């Protein structure tokens, strides 16, 4: 991402990371509730309990703020190398479940709908999604190199069903059962990964 998308505090006045965090949290919540139509720097400042100047010191506009907020709270699936494919995929699934079960849930669904209508945010969002797909594909490729799964494994099928399965599981759970889902998330991630690793191995027998 170009460094110019984020303004810097003047020398000698270090930025307060707690203020950054409050602004980002407020941006994600407001966007999730009100969408792009209701997203303004004034409303984010009010919700974060900071002055508008604090936001302008950091971001040049609402497009940049929303893109940074999505990067920090929604598109935060990162590569992680636990040493085994199973471990990597469980970590990936837990990261996804945390996003879709957490405060960023509505923002995550909303940006998928609204991005085409907000070109400046859509460009960053597309980059963020692509880097997440690359991180996930890198995990699977390491598993193939280590001989954990067959060489002709369909990386696309495995990742579609893993990531899609986790998101669908959350979306089809009635609201009254979401609390239980949060408690069971770590175990569900293991069951999902094991189920799909069976598919990969059996498909290539």
| Binding of a second copy by 112 (CB under 8 A) | yes
Distance from C-alpha of 123 to C-alpha of 132, rounded to nearest angstrom: 15
End-to-end CA distance of the chain: 43
Residue numbers 137-166 binding a second copy by CB under 8 A: 154, 156-157, 159-166
Residue numbers 32-91 binding a second copy by CB under 8 A: 35, 37
Residue 167 CB, shortest distance to a second copy, in Å, is 6
Q: Which two tokens stand for residue 150?
A: 């067959």
| Binding of a second copy by 167 (CB under 8 A) | yes
| Binding of a second copy by 103 (CB under 8 A) | no
Distance from C-alpha of 62 to C-alpha of 78, rounded to nearest angstrom: 25
Question: Helix 155-171 to helix 85-101 angle, to the nearest 10 degrees?
Answer: 30
Q: Which residue from 95, 178, 163, 98 is spatially nearest to 133, judged by alpha carbons?
A: 163
Are 31 and 66 contacting, i.e. CB atoms less than 8 angstroms apart? yes
Site size for a second copy (CB under 8 A):
35
Give whichever of 182 and 203 is closer to a second copy, judged by the CB atom: 203
Residue written as tokens 């980059």?
A: 127
| Binding of a second copy by 28 (CB under 8 A) | no
> Coil, helix or strand for 166?
helix
At a CB cut-off of 8 Å and minimum separation 6, what does 47 contact? 26, 29, 30
| Binding of a second copy by 101 (CB under 8 A) | no
| Binding of a second copy by 129 (CB under 8 A) | yes
Binding residue for a second copy, selected from 110, 142, 182, 190, defined by CB under 8 A: 110
Residue 19 CB, shortest distance to a second copy, in Å, is 29
Q: Which stretch binds a second copy (CB under 8 A): 13-21, 41-49, 69-77, 103-111?
A: 103-111
Q: Which residues bind a second copy (CB under 8 A)?
A: 35, 37, 106, 109-110, 112-113, 129, 133, 154, 156-157, 159-169, 171-172, 191-192, 194-196, 198-199, 201-203
């Amino acid at each position: 991402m170009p460094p110019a998308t984020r303004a810097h505090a003047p020398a000698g006045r270090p930025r307060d990371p707690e203020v950054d965090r409050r602004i980002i949290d407020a941006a994600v919540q407001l966007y999730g509730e009100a969408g792009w139509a209701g997203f303004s720097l004034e409303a984010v400042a009010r919700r974060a309990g900071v002055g508008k100047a604090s936001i302008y010191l950091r971001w040049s506009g609402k497009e940049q703020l929303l893109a940074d907020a999505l990067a920090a709270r929604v598109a935060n699936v990162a590569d992680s190398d636990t040493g085994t494919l199973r471990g990597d995929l469980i970590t990936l699934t837990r990261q996804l479940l945390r996003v879709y079960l957490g405060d960023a849930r509505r923002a995550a669904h909303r940006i998928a709908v609204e991005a085409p209508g907000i070109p400046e945010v859509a460009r960053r969002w597309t980059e963020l999604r692509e880097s997440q797909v690359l991180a996930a594909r890198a995990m699977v490729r390491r598993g193939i190199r280590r001989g954990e799964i067959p060489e002709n494994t369909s990386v696309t099928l495995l990742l579609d069903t893993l990531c899609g399965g986790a998101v669908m599981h959350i979306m089809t759970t009635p609201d009254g059962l979401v609390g239980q889902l949060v408690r069971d998330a770590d175990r569900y991630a293991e069951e999902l990964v094991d189920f799909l690793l069976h598919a990969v191995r059996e498909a290539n027998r």
